[in-house]
Amino acid sequence: MLQLHTTKIECLTTSSEEAFIARLSENDQYPLPLRGKEIFLAPETHSGKLPDGFRAYFILRKNLDSVEANQDFPNVFIIPNDQHYLRDGDVIRFDPKRIKLHTLYRKNSQHNSLLVTERCNNYCLMCSQPPKDIDDSYIVQDLLVAIPLMRRETEEIGITGGEPTILGDDLIRILRALKNYLPSTSVHILSNGRNFANIDLARKVAGVKNHDLMIGIPLYADISNIHDYVVQADGAFDETIKGIMNLKRHGVKVEIRVVIHKQTYERLPQLAEFLARNLLFVDHVALMGLEMMGFTKANIDELWVDPIDYQPELVRAIDVLARYNMNVSIYNHQLCLLDKRLWPFNTKSISDWKNEYMPECEPCTLKEQCGGFFSSALFKYSDHIQPFSESEMPTKNAPQPTL
Amino acid sequence: MALASTKFKDLDFFNQSLESGYKLLPFNFIKLDDSRYVITNIAGEYLVITKEDLYAVANKQLCPGSPVYNTLKSKHFIYDDDSSVALELLALKYRTKMAPLANFTGLHLFVTTLRCDHSCPYCQVSRQSEDKAAFDMTPEIADKAIDFTFQSPSNEIKIEFQGGESLLNFEMVKYVVEEATKRNQTENRDLQFVIATNLSPLTDGMLDFCLKYDILISTSLDGPEELHNGNRPRPGKDSYEKVMTGMQKVRELLGPDKLGALMTTTKDSLTQAKPIIDEYVEQGFSSIFLRPLSPYGFAIKTKSFDAYQTEEWLKFYKEGLDYIIELNKQGLYFIEDYTALILNKMLTPFGTTYVDLQSPSGMAISAIVFNYDGDIYASDESRMLAEMGEKRFRLGNLLQDTYEGVMLSDALLGPLEATITESMPMCNDCGFQNYCGSDPVYHYATQGDIIGNKAFSGFCKKNMTIMRHLIKLLEDDPEARDVLLSWVRV
Ligand code: SF4
Ligand code: SF4
């Protein structure tokens, strides 16, 4: 697991700056006029003096010996070794006063996502990012500065919360920034969809005309009160469904995301039929394993079901969705727990920075194909993890998409 | 309940609004067997439930949150105060089902000639004649027909050449294809051509032309050689041989995907379901349309098309379907087309453009016929009927009438209004109404009335029996269910 936040920072010189957003540069030949906006990240190969003119300087603690940390520069910082993943082109938020470093964007990652607010109008039983009712509107301002610093060729940017639509017009501003500064980047928003019940918001989002925009919206049941219970909000089901219809009315791509747990697995096949009959026009359906974060840990007794125990329901659900030619994937599942018929639908989906394997996986021959675990899974995971051995390689009996 | 903190509310909290009772959404029902009923909602979703449950639903005795309750709610048979989005979803689904209506006429049949080298007894229209002038379509009429065709708002325009034997007037086929293609350079529709032919007049030159314009070939194949030749007499008694040679040429030059075949069911066919299907399998087809007996001629003379014939045909159909399902289980993907049409209506959100399974009937608004002499008919059957002296379904003539005049004529609007299944006597509360349609020409031919009394209708008996049979297979026979589901195309 990568540490995208740290406070274990030491200031070698002086600093009086307010928090700011900047891009990291490992290039000591960087053109002078641009240096003032960037932070120099001393690369492993760097030795000797630090180059002039950068806004600040980061030295990884383990590289400290080779660097001549010029005492006359302000804003020279030692950052802990767990920040080793930082690279040229990454964008960070840095607060020298509170010595807080937060990585917003990693140039070489496929899994960049921007948290745009921590506020939410749901209170899901298994929320991995529990909502906070605070004024965090500064985040939007930060992101509007950060987005122009991102690599123009970035393939995909995610937007998460909280509930991004709570921002209203500020969300539109972020989408516009993405559209203008990253014109060929796919944008994926995670939203509970409720606010799109207001068709004006759907129209505005569509109106930005982002390149390849998709909105991932969770739907936990075909029955209103079960969905409302899972998201802890009365009336949420109706608003979410209306939201999905409104988005599709305006031609915005929608992905349905179903987290499978004790409250949702039993009606999974019925939910699949509901989707096929009512929302066949959605663009993707993701059936996802549970992440052991946030509220999930607290509500574990109400949520945990060993994936091995819901395979029949999952097989039936996928069967229905695939038959209706819906574009469907399984996320966050371990291969050794999945019915072989489901393998063709399995996707390695866990973001690189929080993807782990368990000690049991050590000898497994299919580790490459397996999606592995969320790092949070150490809290609780299946008792049935079974590493594959060479002889079990499914060559002859390769899983057939017989569904 | 073991929720972490009082911040979370338990499931019962969200159930409260269910207690205020539920309301029924519109649905129909029909008996499936002694203990079960099929219920269908207005979007064509069905559910098989016990008689007791059906009574409980209707008497508002269902227990909120029970599995039956949830299934009925999920499939939009009932709704409650907790959620009203069912109404919007139903409206959306209903509109999706009805979309083919808005697309309007897609299939346009051009009868290039009535002349034919065959003398099939079941055909009412063909002529053995050398007199080209008397029975061939003229360029003047073809021009008008093309004009008429492009007045349809449909984006998908299919022009199908019919006869007689359409290829006996190949010059006219060529003319229409070239003119329509030219016209389409500005119209930009999705334009497709099909030639229906017995293949005997087929030449290499014609095939080159078909290749150039990407034309599909639809031929007639009634079954094994003896049956086929018996059904389809021609001088030399070699119809089968001609079809075989022709099909081989089509496959070689245009490719097997460009070749289709239709069978006509005759009394002789009824005992030969298996050999007929085997013939189609051997010829490399991946489907067969087990078509009902045609009542024309017989019906007109006797004024009643007896249930006996439908009964016999249904036996033939079931035997054929069983055999086809068996073939699928053995690993051959092979479809019975009529079954697939009905399954698609049952199991997908989409409607059909198949004329007889639409409400209202698809006559003229799904498919329309331009006869060689410029007469416009609502369907191929209407043309047959007219040849036998009953011109009720003749909608006008290309030389005299305008598009608006024809499409808004009483001769068309009358039957359309009468064939809305939602309002037809018996159909209006039939549990299969959503999957069914109507056949005004059939009912007129057999009962002298375009609606007809469904209790005496072979059309109704046929569809009701097939639908009941299919639902039983889907419910009770998991292996057959797998096969049938594999025929559904989304
Ligand atoms: S044992 Fe293999 S298949 Fe199972 S979780 Fe570990 S890597 Fe994946
Ligand atoms: S024709 Fe018969 S089966 Fe079809 S809807 Fe009418 S009553 Fe039902």
Q: What is the DSSP string of B246-279?
A: HHHHHHHHH-GGGEEEE----TTGGG-HHHHHHH
Query: Which amino acid is residue A1, in one-letter code?
Result: M
Q: What is the pLDDT of residues B112-144, one digit of tens each?
A: 999 988 888 777 777 777 677 789 999 999 999
Question: What percentage of chain A has pLDDT greater than the value 70?
Answer: 96
Q: What is the CA(A398)–ligand 1 centre distance, in A?
A: 17
**Cα–Cα dist B411/B414, whole Å:** 6
pLDDT, tens digit (0-9, with 9 covering 90-100), for B376-402: 999 888 988 888 888 899 999 999 999
Q: What is the rounded CA–CA span in Å between residue B319 and residue B306?
A: 21
What integer pLDDT is reported at residue A395 of this predicted model? 44
Contacts of B83 in chain A (CB under 8 A): 224-225, 237-238
| C-alpha span between A303 and B2 (Å, rounded) | 10
Give the pLDDT band (50/70/90) at residue A396.
Answer: very low
Q: Are the CB atoms for B437 and B292 separated by under 8 Å?
A: no
Same domain, B284 and B247: yes
Q: Which residues contact A193 (CB under 8 A, 6 or more apart)?
A: A215, A217, A218, A239, A240, A243, A244, A247
What percentage of residues in chain A have a pLDDT greater than 90? 68
Assigned domain for B350 exists: yes
Question: Where is average pLDDT lowest: A71-80, B65-74, B426-435?
Answer: A71-80
Asked whether residue B123 is assigned to any structural domain, the reply reads yes
**Which distant-in-sequence residues (6+ apart) come within 8 Å of B223 by Cβ?**
B231, B263, B269, B272, B275, B276, B279
Spatial distance between the Cα atoms of B367 and B159, rounded to a whole number of angstroms: 10
**Cα–Cα distance for residue pair A273/A252, rounded to 1 Å:** 22
The number of angstroms, rounded, from the C-alpha of A368 to the middle of its chain's C-alpha atoms is: 21
CATH top-level class of A112-392: alpha beta
Residues B42 and B91: their CA atoms lie apart, in Å, by 9
pLDDT above 90: residue A285 = yes
Probe target for ligand 1 pocket from A375, A378, A383, A385, with the most ligand atoms within 8 Å of CB: A385
pLDDT of residue A48: 83
Nearest of A29, A56, A53 to residue A41 by alpha carbon: A56
Tell whether B19 is covered by a domain: no
Interface probe with A: pick from B12, B47, B63, B74, most Cβ of A within 10 Å: B74
- pLDDT value at position A330? 96
Beta-carbon separation of B5 and A225 below 8 A? no
E runs forming strands in B361-434: 367-370, 375-377, 394-397
Provide mean pLDDT across the span A107-112: 92
Which pTM value belongs to this model? 0.90
Answer yes or no: is pLDDT of B304 > 50. no
Residue at A169: amino acid letter: D
CA distance A181 to A177: 6
Instruction: Answer yes or no: do B2 and A301 touch at CB < 8 A.
Output: yes
Secondary structure letter of residue B9 according to DSSP: P
- The per-residue pLDDT for B4 is 56
Of A42-56, A138-152, A217-231, B349-363, the one with minimum mean pLDDT is A42-56
| Contact in structure between B393 and B441 (CB atoms under 8 Å) | yes
CA of A365 to the centre of ligand 1 (A): 8
Supply B343's token pair: 């399954």
Residue range B209-217: average pLDDT? 97
Kindly report, residue by residue over A346-380, the tens digit of the pLDDT.
998 888 778 889 999 999 999 888 888 988 887 88
Give the three-class secondary structure for B387.
helix
Interface pTM, i.e. ipTM: 0.89
Cα dihedral A114/A115/A120/A122 (nearest 10): 70
- A133 in contact with B at a CB cutoff of 8 Å? no
What is the CATH classification number for the domain harbouring B236? 3.20.20.70
Q: What is the mean pLDDT of residues A266-278?
A: 96
Smallest CA–CA distance, residue B16 to chain A, in Å, is 9
* Whether B89 and B109 share a structural domain: no
pLDDT at res. B348: 94
Please answer yes or no on whether B490 and A295 come within 8 Å at the CB atom: no
Handedness of CA B249, B251, B252, B257 (dihedral sign): positive
Q: What would the mean pLDDT of B36-53 be, rounded to a whole number?
A: 96
The answer to whether residues B144 and B51 belong to one domain is no
Q: Residue B27 forms beta bridges with which residues?
A: B41
Q: Are A361 and A377 in contact (CB under 8 A)?
A: no
Residue of chain B whose Cα is closest to the Cα of A272: B74
Taking 3-state DSSP, the helix, strand and coil percentages for chain B, each rounded to the nearest 5, stand at 50, 15, 35
Do B401 and B368 belong together in one domain? yes
Instruction: Give me the amino acid identity at A40.
Output: F
Q: Is residue B165 domain-shared with residue B139, that is, in the same domain?
A: yes
pLDDT at A403: 45
Q: Is the peptide bond before B164 cis (omega within 30 degrees of 0)?
A: yes
End-to-end CA distance of chain A: 36
Could you tell me the distance, in angstroms and rounded to a whole number, from the CA of residue A390 to the centre of ligand 1?
13
- Using the Cβ of B88 and the Cβ atoms of chain A, whether some distance falls under 8 Å is answered with yes
| pLDDT tens per residue, range B257-275 | 999 999 988 888 999 999 9
Residue B18 gets which letter from DSSP?
Answer: G
Residue A74 binned pLDDT confidence (cut-offs 50, 70, 90): confident
Of the candidates A133, A81, A105, A115, which has an alpha carbon nearest to the alpha carbon of residue A24? A105
| Ligand 2 geometric centre to CA of B88 (Å) | 27
Confidence of residue A394 (pLDDT cuts 50, 70, 90): low
Answer yes or no: do B226 and B133 share one domain: yes
Give which of B350, B328, B429 is closest to B44, Cα–Cα: B350
CA distances from A401 to A287, A319, A328, A335, A339 (A): 17, 10, 13, 15, 12
Query: Which residue spans within B68-111 are E strands per DSSP?
Result: 78-80, 107-111
- Give the model's pLDDT for residue A401: 42
Residue where one domain finishes, among candidates B73, B97, B121? B97
Query: Is residue B17 in a domain?
Result: no
Which ligand 1 atom sits nearest the alpha carbon of residue A373? 5
Residue nearest to atom 1 of ligand 2 (CA): B460
Q: What is the pLDDT of residue A73?
A: 81
In a shared domain, residues B93 and B109: no
Q: What is the pLDDT of residue A204?
A: 97
Taking residues B100-120, report their average pLDDT. 91
Give the β-pairing of B27-31 and B107-111: unpaired
Average pLDDT, integer, range B358-373: 95
> What is the Cα–Cα distance from A114 to A111, expressed in whole angstroms?
10
Which among A124, A223, A225 is the top mutation candidate for probing chain B, defined by the most B β-carbons within 10 Å of its own β-carbon?
Answer: A225
Q: Average model confidence (pLDDT) for chain B?
A: 92
Contact call for residues A326 and A403 (beta carbons, < 8 A): no
Residue B306 is predicted with a pLDDT of: 59
Residues with Cβ within 8 Å of residue B7, at least 6 apart in sequence: A123
Phi, psi of A305 (to 5 degrees): -140, 130
* Backbone dihedral angles phi then psi of residue A142, each to the nearest 5 degrees: -60, -45
Whether residue B488 lies inside any domain: the answer is no
Ligand 1 pocket, residues with Cβ under 6 angstroms: A 334-336, 357, 360-361, 364, 366-367, 370, 372, 385, 387-388
Residue with tokens 């949420």: A236
Domain residue ranges in chain A: 2-98, 112-392
Residue B297 has pLDDT above 70, yes or no: no
Could you tell me if B484 and B464 are in contact, meaning their C-beta atoms sit under 8 angstroms apart?
Answer: no
According to DSSP, the β-strands at B287-288 and B259-262 are unpaired
User: Chain B residues with CB inside 8 Å of A232's CB?
Assistant: 8-9
Asked if B213 and B346 sit in the same domain, the reply is: yes
pLDDT at A400 over 50: no
pLDDT of residue B40: 97
Q: Which residue has the tokens 């989409």?
A: B350
Q: Report the alpha-carbon distance of residue B361 to residue A164 in Å, rounded.
A: 49
- The pick from B454, B462, B468, B471 for probing ligand 2's pocket by mutation, whose C-beta has the most ligand atoms within 8 angstroms, reads B454
pLDDT at A397 over 60: no
The verdict on residue B337 lying in a domain is: yes
- In terms of domains, do B191 and B79 share one? no
Using one digit for the tens of pLDDT, what is the confidence trace for B451-473? 999 999 999 999 999 999 999 99
**What Å distances lie between residue B488 and B92, B339, B349, CA to CA?**
21, 10, 11
What letters, b where the CB count within 10 A reaches 16 and e where it falls short, cover B12-37? eebbebbeeebeebebbbbebeeebb
Give residue for tokens 């329309």.
B368
Buried b (16+ CB within 10 A) or exposed e, B192-228: bbbbbbbbbbbeeebbebbeeeebbbbbbbbbbeebb
| Any domain includes B18 | no
Q: Are residue B235 and residue B376 in the same domain, yes or no?
A: yes
Q: Are A233 and A197 in contact (CB under 8 A)?
A: no
Copy the structure tokens of residue A343.
Answer: 């393998």
Host domain of residue B93: 24-97
pLDDT at B235 over 70: yes
| Mean of pLDDT values over A168-192 | 97
In chain B, the residue whose alpha carbon lies closest to the alpha carbon of A239 is B85
Q: What angle do CA B128, B134, B140 make, to 5 degrees?
A: 135
The residue contributing the CA closest to ligand 1 atom 6 is A361
| pLDDT for B410 | 93
Q: Which of B75, B85, B485 to mutate to test the interface with A (most CBs of A within 10 A)?
A: B85
B404-428: pLDDT as tens digits: 999 999 999 999 999 999 999 999 9
pLDDT reported for residue B380: 86
Reported as a single tens digit per residue, the pLDDT across B161-203 is 998 899 999 999 999 999 999 999 999 999 999 999 999 999 9
- pLDDT surpasses 60 at A202: yes
Q: Which residue of A has its CA nearest to B14?
A: A225
Residue B94's pLDDT is what? 94
Residues of chain B neighbouring A273 (CB-CB closer than 8 A) = 74
Q: Where does the pLDDT of residue B1 fall: very low under 50, low under 70, confident under 90, or very high at 90 and above?
A: very low
If you average pLDDT over every residue of chain A, what do you get?
91
pLDDT band for B89, please (50, 70, 90 cuts).
Answer: very high
Q: Please tell me the predicted confidence (pLDDT) of residue A392.
A: 58
In terms of domains, do B363 and B448 share one?
A: no
B216 with B260, same domain: the answer is yes
* Number of domains within chain B: 3
Q: CA A270 to CA A262: how far, in whole Å?
A: 15
Confidence band for A398, pLDDT divided at 50, 70 and 90: very low
